[in-house]
Amino acid sequence: MDPQSALPAQLVRLAQEESFSPQRVLDAVHAALAPRTGVRRAEVLAHERGRLVVVARAGEAGPVPGACATFTLRHGGAELGLLHLHGGDPSTVDRAVGAAAGHHLAVALRDVTTAREQAELHRVTDAVRRLFEEGVRAVSVEAAGRLLVAVAADVLGTERAAVMLVAPDTRVTHVLGVGLPEELEQRLAASLLGRLARDSPAWQRAALTGGPDVVDAGGGPPGRPGGGVHSHRLRSKLKLPLMSAEGLVGTAVCGDVTRSRTWTPADRVLARRLALQGAVVVDNARLRELEQAHLRQLEHRAFHDQLTGLPNRAALLGALGDALDPVTGDGGVALLLIDLDGFKRVNDTLGHHSGDVLLQQVAVRLRELLPAGATGARLGGDELAVALAGPAADLAADLARAVHARLGEPYVIEGRTVRTGASVGIARAPRDATDTTGLLRAADEAMYRAKRAGDGPRTAR
């Protein structure tokens, strides 16, 4: 039988095989057509990433003299690609044979396109899932931003990616990058941090469109001098506005500097999904960051004196308890109990405001004297304390003398010189007591003896 006449039945059998592909179909078509038509090379081209690419070739390599006949491959009303026949006389192809060849090549291309679309869908799904799963662990805006650019650069396959995040007033708070030279990232941060993003035309355009801004290789403007695209020197870019329910929270830019690129519809879909999910990740990270800051603030208030900023009685008792614990403790423990002499006189003569200022200045001086391993605290009124644990406990006597001398120096409050003193009592564990209550009682007894003597610190008996 004539190979051309046998081709339709052969193609039907091929379509039933698992290895059905554009290359298998084209091999059969070329083998059937070449003897009668003289076709020397056949090619199938498919639409891929915005351009036509050869997906199958049969016959001679290299230049082929003669005309090239082109046939459109359609399926379901959509153009999927082209069939090129080089050399010979394609007009001698039987119409029924040509229709069968075109149909089966289009079906094979459809299968390839469907597989590619499914792969792109998996790429989008995997990227969003990764962003979501890792995003729930981002406890800061910076961590969320770094995750976003890392995922975007990875799944889009770009050489560089950067994200700019803003505060509610659009002031730039973070500039983070992937694949950026350190010097470039620092330069971008220096030029953008603290600026109002809403003043930028690019920001205004992103807020207006809400979708990805795409520039293919060689297309679009070079970018505003000093801006992200201009500084990156990207040959192609894809800019993602990060839109939250409250508006733009930032923008991300992905692109290449050493190669040309044409962004596909699949790339744009992926970019849009990344932008939407990225905005959620950044928003949630900001909420977690605010929550952590609020918790730290509450904890600070619970364990610090609001007037002086020193740890309070609860914090001191906690430090003493930890130091005295036989399992977690670190050796010796010492406690200094400090009472300001003349504080009541300052309150009575200059007013409570001056008394508060005096306590704040006392706290500053006390902090300056504290060694590592020491906890200074205000217990209430004009009573202060210092807990020393581990090696720092050996410094108790020297520190007590320094505190007595430093707190006895003059203070200037609203232009007036104020003088006061400090009575300091010292107690040590386990010599003077083995628990917190006993240590406080021993230090208190020593402090009152120091107050009566008025000539310096005293140690518990």
Phi, psi angle pair for 377, to nearest 5°: -145, 155
Between the CA of residue 423 and those of 20, 120, 447, what are the distances in Å? 96, 76, 6
At how many degrees (to 10) do helices 396-407 and 352-369 cross? 140
pLDDT tens string 304-347: 999 999 999 999 999 999 898 876 666 689 999 999 999 999 99
Greater confidence (48 vs 377) lies with 377
What is the band of 225 on the pLDDT scale with cuts at 50, 70, 90?
very low
pLDDT tens digits, residue range 237-267?
Answer: 888 888 777 778 888 888 888 877 777 777 8
Q: What confidence category does residue 34 fall into, taking pLDDT thresholds of 50, 70 and 90? A: confident
What pLDDT is stored for residue 329 in this prediction?
63
Contact criterion met (CB below 8 Å) for 394 and 403: no
Residue written as tokens 């902090």?
367
- Number of Cβ within 10 Å of residue 361's Cβ equals 16
Query: Are 387 and 321 a contacting pair, CB within 8 Å?
Result: no
pLDDT band (50, 70, 90) for residue 227: very low
Classify each residue of 167-198 as buried b or exposed e, where b means 16 or more C-beta atoms within 10 Å of its C-beta.
eeebebbbbbbbbbeeebbeebbebbeeeebe
The pLDDT, as a whole number, for residue 224 is: 46
Q: How confident is the model at residue 23 (pLDDT cuts 50, 70, 90)?
A: confident
Report residue 121's pLDDT band, with 50, 70 and 90 as the boundaries.
Answer: low
The pLDDT confidence band at residue 115, using thresholds 50, 70 and 90, is confident
Distance from C-alpha of 249 to C-alpha of 223, rounded to nearest angstrom: 21
> CA torsion sign, 123 to 126 to 132 to 135?
negative
Structure tokens at 90: 């394609």
Element housing 287 (H / E): helix 265-303
CA distance 436 to 317: 7
Which distant-in-sequence residues (6+ apart) come within 8 Å of 12 by Cβ? none
Which of the given ranges, 42-46, 297-301, 448-452, has the highest pLDDT on average? 448-452
CB 216 within 8 A of CB 263: yes
Residue 374: predicted pLDDT: 93
- Tokens representing 141 are 């805006």
Amino acid sitting at position 365: R
Least confident of 96-110, 230-244, 286-300, 371-385: 230-244
Distance in angstroms (rounded) separating the CA atoms of residues 381 and 312: 11
Distance of CA 395 to the CA centre of its chain: 45
pLDDT at 22: 85
pLDDT at 157: 84
Query: What is the reported pLDDT for 378?
Result: 96
Q: Which helix (H) or strand (E) holds 240?
A: strand 236-244
Kind and range of the H or E run holding 426: strand 421-429
Phi, psi for residue 384 in degrees, rounded to 5:
-125, 165
SS3 percent helix, strand, coil of the chain, rounded to 5, is: 50, 25, 25
Q: Tell me which of 383 and 281 has the higher pLDDT.
A: 383
Using DSSP, state whether 415 is helix, strand or coil. coil
**β-pair partners for 161:** 178, 254
* Window from 19-23, 227-231, 270-274, 347-351 with minimum mean pLDDT: 227-231
pLDDT at 220: 44
The pLDDT of 228-243, averaged and rounded, is 69
pLDDT of residue 111: 79
- Give the C-alpha separation, 61 to 98, whole Å: 23
**Secondary structure (DSSP) of 301-347:** HHHB-TTT-SB-HHHHHHHHHHHH-TTT--S-EEEEEEEEETHHHHH
The pLDDT > 90 percentage for the chain reads 31
pLDDT at 4: 66
- pLDDT for 181 beyond 90: no
Which structural domains are found in the chain, ordered by start?
Answer: 3-119 (3.30.450.40), 136-290 (3.30.450.40), 313-459 (3.30.70.270)
